[in-house]
Amino acid sequence: MRTYATFGGVRNWVFVRVETAEGLYGWGEASMELWHGTMRAAIEELGARLVGMDALASERVWQVATRHGFWRGGAVLASAVAAIDQALWDIRGKFFQTPVYRLLGGPTREWVETYRHAGIYDPDDLQADARALVDRGVRTIKTGAWVSDSVLTETERLRRVRSRMEGIRAAVGDDVDILVDYHGRATPDEAIRLIQAIAEFRPRWVEEPIAPESPELIADVTAEAHRHGISIALGERLFSRWDFRTVLERQLIDVAQPDLCHAGGITETMKIASLADLYRVQMAPHNPAGPVSTAAAAHVAMAISNFSILEQCIDEPRWSQIVAEPWSREGSRLLVPDLPGLGVDLDVNALKAVPPAEMVVPSAAFRADGSVADV
């Protein structure tokens, strides 16, 4: 197990390369904002306990990694398992000389539909970003998560959100889907008022309107969203099928968003997808990370029947600098190559050439009175 951390242009990316005695290797990713050092240590410590196991026995390795440490779950441990699990699936595909999605039962589709971000960190760029993406063929755009709004009163926050939604809808027209991410910042009652404020601009979904610690509190929010024909998406901070169980069984969400870097990797995400399918919930993997995360999510997307759309952040020039062979894109379509394993290889020297950097993504939020707010 060898880990690498490098600056990706916006976030730090954390990768693991798992090598076998027979000379095969696989790549995994567990990029987590603010915690690249912690993630490297967790992967290396967990990985040391797994050395000597059968690299093709990904389910058994997942079970040992998850259950034999006594302490289970949580973002860090689940992410360490996820990175190693991705790498083992990469190895499995290379061993059998076939793409991972074929081993998962695919393909169920010809390409993976993606969406991109506009004005996430600077709302002043929202309309220009959105128009540029549409000009390049992107058909779904996500915005929101504006940390700087935390100091405002609720009335002013909602007024600005409404104004921005009006602007982006005017910029992209009626045929482009708009997604709104609220980063779990609202109380349930504020989330209801948020939906009422933006409903006329026809967002496809509102993502994580309330904090993930008590997702059952989203029931009234979901009911209000459905009255306006808006879906509720949630799940980037849920890390297992057990975490998703409540919102799925109570039919509180329309879109599940597990992150392949954090939700136990390919092995666990496939199980989450199967559970979600019982309730006709669509899968839209959370994926603001690097190329290995994107590859793992894309292979899952190719194989499952209830896939909807994949988040993608192409941070250039770092993406092209570290990837040996880029994947093809056609507008909003990501084409998964017919290559063994995950189909992505990284340049180790390029990873080493650029160390991790201080966090660029906003990582602090406060109210006007100085009290702490959610980022």
Q: Dump pLDDT digits (tens) for 349-373.
A: 999 999 999 877 788 899 999 999 9
Q: Tokens at residue 31, please?
A: 């990029």
Report how far residue 254's alpha carbon sits from residue 171's, in angstroms, rounded to the nearest whole number.
27
CA distance 238 to 244: 7
The answer to whether 175 and 202 are in contact (CB under 8 A) is no
Give 156-171 pLDDT, tens digit per residue.
Answer: 999 999 999 999 999 9
Report residue 45 as tokens: 């410590």
Q: Is 231 helix (H, G, I), strand (E, B) or coil?
A: strand
pLDDT for res 214: 85
Contact 248, 268 (CB under 8 A): no
CA–CA distance, 28 with 15 (Å, rounded to integer): 6
Q: Exposure of 330 by Cβ count < 10 A (0-12 exposed, 13-18 middle, 19+ buried)?
A: exposed
pLDDT tens across 302-313, in order?
Answer: 999 999 999 999
Q: Which two tokens stand for residue 118?
A: 């506009």
Task: Tell me which residues are annotated as active site.
Answer: 183, 286
What confidence category does residue 70 fall into, taking pLDDT thresholds of 50, 70 and 90?
Answer: confident
Contacts of 163 (CB under 8 A, 6+ apart): none
| Alpha-carbon 55 to chain mean position | 26
Peptide bond preceding 362 in cis form (omega within 30 of 0): no
Q: Determine the pLDDT at residue 73.
A: 81
d(CA 43, CA 294): 19
Mean pLDDT across the chain, nearest whole number?
A: 96
Question: 303-350, pLDDT tens digit by residue?
Answer: 999 999 999 998 899 999 999 999 999 999 999 999 999 999 999 999
The full set of domain ranges for the chain reads 2-98, 101-340
* HSE-up of residue 149 (Cα within 13 Å, Cβ side): 22
Q: Is the dihedral of CA 207, 212, 215, 221 positive or negative?
A: negative
Taking only the tens place, the pLDDT of each residue in 216-273 is: 899 999 999 999 999 999 999 999 999 999 999 999 999 999 999 999 999 999 999 9
β-strand pairing of 25-29 with 282-283:
unpaired
Alpha-carbon distance of 124 to 168, in angstroms, equals 11
Whether the predicted pLDDT of 277 surpasses 90 = yes
Instruction: Write the CATH number of the domain with boundaries 2-98.
Output: 3.30.390.10
Beta bridge partners of 333: 113, 330
Position 216 scores a pLDDT of: 87
- CATH architecture of the domain formed by 101-340: Alpha-Beta Barrel (3.20)
Q: Is residue 135 within 8 Å of 355, Cβ to Cβ? A: no
In tens, the pLDDT along 98-131 reads 999 999 999 999 999 999 999 988 889 999 999 9
Angle 34-160-140 from CA coordinates, rounded to 5°: 65
